[in-house]
Chains A and B, each alone.
Chain A
Amino acid sequence: GEEVAQTPKHLVRGEGQKAKLYCAPIKGHSYVFWYQQVLKNEFKFLISFQNENVFDETGMPKERFSAKCLPNSPCSLEIQATKLEDSAVYFCASSQRGTAGAAFFGQGTRLTVV
């Protein structure tokens, strides 16, 4: 598609439940990024992919967060055993090239952990 599609738009989970977010990058884009925007509006980088390969996962809280980008499937970000502090908007972005190509963002998924 011509835009980054993220689903769902809103997600509410009880503390300790699992949350799974999806992202379909723009067709032809090889690079996918996940960012977390917390309530203070600050962005935190989580993970990036080059096609289906993890490129940079330095921002991932590995004990509960995992992500995948499989061929012919939307990319996914999964949070096991959610905590209140995971409440945030999660953005997916894709780019055609990782350098000069600017990243195009999806509309985000607002996760609320109660």
Chain B
Amino acid sequence: AQTVTQSQPEMSVQEAETVTLSCTYDTSESNYYLFWYKQPPSRQMILVIRQEAYKQQNATENRFSVNFQKAAKSFSLKISDSQLGDTAMYFCAFMKNGANSKLTFGKGITLSVRP
């Protein structure tokens, strides 16, 4: 079974600064996908970024980037130039490769961006 660990329950960052959210996972699979989802107070789950395990290059989406360390089973999210709208819960998730695979989520981290 897969596990996803987000050890920091909450973080705070000043607007315009950079923050990194940590995530580690455990799996015996060699082919899988990792995701970061954002859940604002509206509770809508928004896909922020996705990483395929077979790709060595770290995924980037505008101000969001990941540091994927496959050997260490680490998948951190870096948010650059933080904005007030980034205030939300962030969930790290794992999905093994295979038809119809489910997501395994971490417990989430609450990020607050201070004006």
Interface residues of A, Cβ cutoff 8 Å to B: 31, 33, 35, 40-43, 45, 48-50, 55-56, 59, 89, 91, 93, 97-100, 102-105, 107-108
- In the bound complex, do residue B107 and residue A41 qualify as a contact, i.e. CB atoms below 8 Å apart? yes
Q: How far is the CB of A26 from chain B (nearest CB, A)?
A: 13
Q: Is the beta-carbon distance between A102 and B101 smaller than 8 angstroms?
A: no
B114 adjacent to chain A (CB < 8 Å): no
**Contact between A102 and B100, CB atoms less than 8 A apart:** no
B33 touching A48 by the CB < 8 A rule?
Answer: no
Alpha-carbon gap, A80 to B89, bound state (A): 31
Question: B103: shortest Cβ distance to chain A, in Å?
Answer: 6
* CA A91 to CA B107, docked complex, whole Å: 16
**Chain A to chain B contacts (Cβ below 8 Å), 16 pairs:** A40-B107, A41-B107, A43-B91, A45-B102, A45-B103, A48-B100, A49-B100, A55-B99, A56-B102, A59-B102, A93-B103, A98-B98, A100-B97, A105-B37, A107-B44, A108-B45
Q: How far does the alpha carbon of A28 sit from the alpha carbon of B50 in the complex, in Å?
A: 21
Please, how many angstroms separate the alpha-carbon atoms of A50 and B100 in the complex? 7
Contact between chains at B45 and A91 (CB < 8 Å) = yes
Contact A98 to B101, CB < 8 A, known contacts A43-B91, A105-B44, A107-B44: yes
Instruction: Report B's interface with A, CB cutoff 8 A.
Output: 33, 35, 37, 42-45, 47, 50, 52, 89, 91, 95, 97-105, 107-108
Chain A residues near B91: list those with CB within 8 A.
43
Chain A residue numbers with a CB within 8 Å of B45 are 91, 93, 105, 108
Nearest residue in A to B42 (C-beta to C-beta)? A107
In the complex the two chains form, is A99's CB within 8 Å of B98's CB? Answer: yes
Min C-beta distance of A14 to chain B, whole Å: 24
Identify which of B35, B95, B97, B100 contacts A55 (C-beta below 8 A). B100
A43 and B105 within 8 A (CB) = yes
